Chains A and B, each alone.
Chain A
Amino acid sequence: MNARILLCAATLAAAVPAGGVWSGEQSIGGEPRAYRAPRASDGKPNLNGIWQAVNSANWDLLDHSARPGPVIALGAVGAIPGGLGVVEGNEIPYKPEAAAKKKENGADWLSRDPLVKCYLPGVPRATYLPFPFQIVQSAENILISYEFANASRTVDMKSRQQSPLDTWMGWSRGHWEGETLVVDVTSFNDRTWFDSAGDFHSDALHVVERYTPTSPDHLLYEATIEDPNVFTRPWKIRMPLYRRIEPRAELVEFKCVEFVEELMYGHLRKRTGN
């Protein structure tokens, strides 16, 4: 962990009213924020860089206490940190049958969480994994490359093409609203989760992401999540993203496929010494 990140987090935390979800608007004060990001060559806010969330939303989007991890041998290293939720109103509006499924998922997360198998994390989860991601921005395409599992996606800024198929990482089309990059993400399959607490969706998922620079080294990340098959209404998450400011910062390959082969195929290993 890098001291500058912690410092940034502390500074931001100081601006948060006690007990509230961290809120861009609160620090903005309801007015268009004074901060104006440096510009890319096309005059749009320059989001290039390596970014990372510093929270425990990947464990649970909602408020949660710390608890022991599922692997006894990992002890404190494998324990799950507590955290304050990132969902507006700290409630995910499940339909009743979907709420039951979420509960089931959560109870059996170790075998059901797609992330455990190194599957592509989906959106928005890719954003708040405990791994950095890099934005490479041009006027036509904004490439987002995630360290976890080599996941990547292209946010198409110009074309209105529809996705020909459902995908893990969705089909992303973007546009600028002032200082904010707005990304409309559709064409998901129903295989990804939002967190390890079993929060899930169907293939009707529709995510609208908003990336707003709030300082040279911070983005406000918001995502509105809509899925009429699973939720009674759209709901929203919100969190800061921190720039990885180490001079040498770069994504380091994390091809986790190799790390899950024994988990997934170990039972099919040839038995020796029989």
Chain B
Amino acid sequence: MRQRGWTAIGCLTLIVVALVVPAIGQSGTAGSKAQAVKSWKMPRTAWGHPDLQGIWNNGTPTPLERPNDLADREYLTDEEWAARAKEVATRAEKRPDDPVADVELAYNNEWYDRGVPLKRTSLIVDPASGKLPPLTSEGQRLLAARDAARRAHGPADSSVDRPLQERCLLYHGVPPFPTGYNNNYLIVQTPDTVAIRYEMLAETRIIPLDGRPHPGPAVRSWIGNARGHWEGDTLVVETTNYNDKATFRFPAANDTLRVIERFTRTGDDQIDYRFTVDNPTMYTRPWTAMLPMAKAPGPILEYACHEGNYGIANVLSGFRAQEMRSAATGNGVRTNQTAARSSGASAVKDQLIGTWQLVNIEQRNAKGEVIEQTSPASGDRTGYLIYDPAGYVAVSIMPPGRKKYAGAQPTQDEAKAAITGYAAYFGTFTINEGDSTVTHHLQGSLNPGMAPDQKRFFELAGNRLTLKPPPSANGNQSRLTWQRMPDMPNLTPEQRRFVGFWKLVSNERRNENRELVLSNEGQTGYIIYTPAGFMMVHMMRPNRKPYAGAQPTPEEAQEALRTYTNYFGPFYVHERDGYVVHDQIGTLNVGRNGPSPMQRFYQFSGNRLLLHPPLTYSPDGHTLQGTITWERVAGGAGTR
């Protein structure tokens, strides 16, 4: 009951705040606002300072940087803002028809702190573009060096490879930037100190007001060292002495980072908060953002992050298990099933069926001499090849050293880099035992101009398969050697239900009112699950055009990448909770974060498989539920 009471108060506050906050977004200075609200008088402490005390929340769905589609607009219109604010404020009450989505939303509503949209289109007020200023060349160099250092490790070689949030080291940071939850802060004041206790990770910032200098450069910390003073009715806090390990959000804290925050109480329920990031090493100029704080119901609760952190151990042990499995494959360990398959007098097709991992690539000249040899172990391409009893084939070959995008979407150059050396296609296959060839009949390929029939000479030896495309004009011929991945020794019945090729039927997104937001009309593709515990997905948009030349132009690369989805990795079925994890080890579209595990809630319905990604939130504040429907291909059911 008590909890409910809080929630009710919280909702009321949210609505009240929603009506007040846009004033902050609109007006130029704190002073003019204070005048606008005539009846309001600045609350003061007994010693005369403006009283900032209490619990405040700075959650907002308004983005730091202005979205491109609002490029020339600093503010939403009244109508746009009202619609957005209402939608966000009432979102928790909307119940999707789909029971899976309903349960997910109910769960998420419990912790989700959506905040209030500002009337502004970006939190950044300076530069006027609403975008971060460009990085300096030194800043670019530092970020590139850090990325390179990062790439020297796997995603989970040790705990230090995991994100700072996951390690319970830093979340909202300084300046305190809102996230999806726990955007709550308690401010306590004395004549010579202001303390801000964060709910998230329980950081406490203690800000002396006595004019003492910052400590020397040897004293560094994750949240920096803060010093405050009053300028009129505004609390100004300068934070320096950051360590250089805070690697997320505002790139690279370092010894030149200085953050100046300004807190001005502008009403019973609001603090005008803005901060300036001054880091001449990283940015070509300082930049400033505003982030109003709204009075919030309490209390601040304990967020014991590290104490309950099972995530790190689970992620690391998952990666180690995966490596052990790969190592087992590499050493030629085979299960009984696999041995039986390859030793029997079965047809070639039976021997081809399975999941194959690329071992090496050789180039031989016309005399048969090896002129080049590479392997994933020596830093060359990673590849997987799947043949299915129903006659389907799918291939993904990925080059090493792939770079993440700087932004959410790849630039043309990033797109070009992402597809260079990457091969992905799907279709059916036929075998000609007479000349020992297998021909892949392509239904789709990353390269839209790839010839529809790809003939390969094959050699089978135990659990090794070598595929050779026809020699090139100079007589050189490449040989791709693959090794069979063993079946999972203990496939559960639920895992077995997934095994096979599934053809894409539809790929939709609907909002919380079940209205169709995105239909992906004409998209084709397959999702494949294999008894080796491996999965791969290929999805392709319609009407793709072949490249004009032998190599794609950057524009063509961007288009090819935009219209094709491919990723692959182990899959794990969480039967009790009704979801499957696609544990990407490679992906065509590396995005900003690189390959990462994808959670998909699943439902089987007849010969169909429905996959639901977790809910997402559109920039205009809607809750979006995706449903990807797949249909099992004929003859591909079950395991062998």
Contacts and interface: CB of A to CB of B under 8 A. Distances in A.
Interface of A: 40-42, 48, 118-120, 134, 136-138, 140-143, 145, 149-154, 156, 159, 161-162, 164-165, 167-169, 191, 247-248, 250-253, 255, 257-258, 261-262, 264-266, 268-270
Given A143-B186, A154-B197, A154-B299, A164 B3 contact: yes
Contacts of A165: 301-302
Interface stretch (B127-135, B309-317, B431-439): B309-317
B313 A264 contact: yes
B204 A140 contact: no
Contacts of B335: none
Given A141-B188, A152-B197, A168-B307, A252 B316 contact: no
Contacts of B189: 138
A136 B195 contact: yes
A151 B202 contact: yes
Contact of A145 (B204, B302, B307, B312): B204
B203 interface: yes
Contacts of B317: 268
19 contacts: A41-B46, A48-B190, A120-B307, A141-B53, A142-B188, A150-B204, A152-B204, A154-B299, A159-B298, A251-B206, A257-B169, A261-B158, A261-B312, A265-B159, A265-B313, A268-B316, A269-B316, A270-B154, A270-B156
A263 to B, nearest CB: 11
Q: How large is the interface on B (under 10, 10 to 19, 20 to 34, 35 or more residues)?
A: 35 or more
Nearest to B161: A270
Contact of B195 (A145, A159, A257, A268): A145
Interface stretch (B56-64, B215-223, B407-415): B215-223
Nearest to B160: A261
Given A119-B307, A264-B313, A269 B302 contact: no
A269 B323 CA distance: 12
A243 to B, nearest CB: 14
B306 interface: yes
A149 B190 CA distance: 24
B536 interface: no
B223 A253 contact: yes
Nearest to B6: A164
Interface in B213-243: 215, 219, 221-223
A118 B306 contact: yes
B53 A255 contact: no
A264 B169 CA distance: 15
Contacts of A161: 2, 298-299
Given A152-B197, A167-B302, A255-B222, A269 B190 contact: no
Contacts, number: 127
B313 A145 contact: no
Contacts of A257: 167-169, 306
Contact of B221 (A40, A120, A151, A252): A252
B3 A270 contact: no
A141 B302 CA distance: 15
A168 B302 contact: yes
A152 B157 CA distance: 32
B320 interface: yes
A152 B204 CA distance: 7
B300 interface: yes
B307 A268 contact: no
A42 B53 CA distance: 15
A143 B195 contact: yes
Contacts of A145: 195, 197, 204, 206
B208 interface: yes
A268 B2 contact: no
Interface in B547-575: none
